[in-house]
Structure 1
């Protein structure tokens, strides 16, 4: 079933790409065109547009289309030499973290896509999450479009030992891009681009949004509410099922985030219980039955290593004062050692 979801998501994305490529006029010749080909990625720059085609296997090509951002993807850490920065990274870190407790979590309300902030406890959970990942490199941050996920990512990064500044990328319009430009190369190198995407939002709970969960169970019956909350393909009234949430979240991950990992970028995703469960379903190749029993605690980061085209679950780093041996790899241990040397 997980494979079916991935294939469905891929076909949806491929259809979208076909229309976008067609409408953008890529079948015509351009004067300002550059190509870069690696073993896995073909990157085509056409004026302000950048197209990255990622080869997954001999028969399938996935593509990523993105506007040129306010600043390029963050460069290698300053302690690396020029020759080191030219080497293809052997692995990349992927950190998933569910947002901290929100004000509606506290009130036991169905939240879904309603945009509510964190509680005091949620703020503390986000800060604790930051401490756990403070020794892990982060080059790109993706969040949902909802404030509780964005607050979690921003608060977490205040604890990172590299002290880079997370900066939201605004490219909705030409004016938004122009007004948010950065004119210092040094500042760009000390910044982390943050991209907010609605596709990473919590699943939309339809007519349940804003209702108290206990009162809803009393009104509709516990079995019915449990079916809406925990089944894979049965949505609540006028809402999304987990399957529907997975289609958009996994498609976005494959189209936008996986190419960054292939390029060696270390990525943090701050999102929600159901959008992250969907992504984990894809990463761990879970079935529809396995994913519905998957529970994610608020504010607890989960680390994956992307290496040789595979995702390897490493668990949750335990904190800044301990190595978290079971979660760390040799590459991450070396990164931490460099951080220690910089701080002393």
Structure 2
């Protein structure tokens, strides 16, 4: 059995999940249930004796707060933390903040399902003067505007995420270091699709539970030896 672990986890239930919204890069917090999901995940990992060398999350508070709950329960709050926009949720463009049922009523179920789960289908782009455009958010001020999305498909989200995997995450298990990565549903689909060598259809149809650690045991070459949810 490999001793190096990569744990991927979707944040706990957010207020956007609770309200059935297209949340995307909207910076909503966890719901009360989401806070408890995160604490429970931390307790579960501690009960299984998990020790990490570093932790990564997105730049959105629902992953940051999930991470902090987990580290509190693990008694590992001293771990180095790294945050990246590349781990942010898929940007839903002009759909961000809209209720999904209302959007279905306006555009039809088939169109909305294509926007949500079509592998290379992008929702309508957000306008440059919109508060939903990341270029108008100071936390992304150091990122070239050409790199900031106005809307993303699963395919373009994968293109954004995979450089972070290859350049930042993968070198750690190759050095024998275990990582905790708290991110979002679409980013999980991108990473799982890559790690499990899934085709686009398999990746896009993955259902990712909130607040549930997915454990990969990896060898020194970064190859997966075993994987499964706790």
- The correspondence for 1:209, drawn from 78, 87, 96, is 96
Mapped to 1, the partners of 2:206 and 2:35 lie a distance apart of 24
Q: CA deviation at 1:91?
A: 3.8
The structure that has the greater radius of gyration is: 1
Name the residue aligned to 1:259. Answer: 171
Question: Which residue number corresponds to residue 224 of structure 2?
Answer: 311
Q: Look up the match of 2:148.
A: none
How many angstroms apart in 2 are the aligned matches of 1:119 and 1:292?
Answer: 26
**Contact 1:231–1:242 (Cα < 8 Å) also in 2:** yes
Q: List per-residue Cα deviations over 1:51-80 (Å, max 9, x = no partner).
A: xxxxxxxxxxxxxxxxxxxxxxxxxxxxxx
- 1:252: Cα distance to partner? 0.6
Matching residue within 123, 127, 132 for 1:236: 123
Alignment of 1:41-60 (within 5 A): none
With structure 1 as the length reference, what TM-score do the two structures score?
0.57
Give structure 2 stretches of 5+ with no counterpart.
126-150
| Equivalent in the alignment of 1:291 | 203
Report runs of 4+ in structure 1 exceeding 2 Å deviation: none
Map 1:83-102 → 2, pairs under 5 A = 91-102=3-14
Does the CA-based 8 Å contact 1:118-1:151 persist in structure 2? yes
1:151 — aligned with what? 65
Give the Cα–Cα distance (whole angstroms) in 2 for the partners of residues 108 and 215 of structure 1.
10
Aligned counterparts of 2:218 and 2:69: Cα–Cα separation in 1: 25
Q: Secondary structure at the match of 2:80?
A: strand
Q: Indicate the residue corresponding to 1:120 in structure 2.
A: 32
1:278 and 2:165 correspond: no
Deviation at 1:308, TM superposition (A): 4.0
Q: How many residues align?
A: 201
Once the two structures are TM-superposed, the CA of residue 153 in structure 1 deviates from its matched residue by 0.8
**Which residue, out of 82, 91, 104, partners 2:16?**
104
Q: In structure 2, how many angstroms separate the alpha carbons of the residues matched to 1:129 and 1:260?
A: 22
Shift of 1:260: 1.0
Shift in Å, 1:226:
0.2
Residues 123-142 of structure 1 aligned to structure 2 (within 5 Å):
123-134=35-46, 135-142=49-56
After alignment, is 246-255 or 195-204 more displaced? 246-255
Structural mapping, 1:58-69, within 5 Å: none
State the distance in 1 between where 2:226 and 2:101 align.
35
3-state SS in 2 of match to 1:233:
coil
1:91/1:308 contact within 8 Å kept: no
Secondary structure of the 1:252 match is: helix
Deviations 1:234-274 (A, max 9, x none): 01111100000001111111110100111111000000000
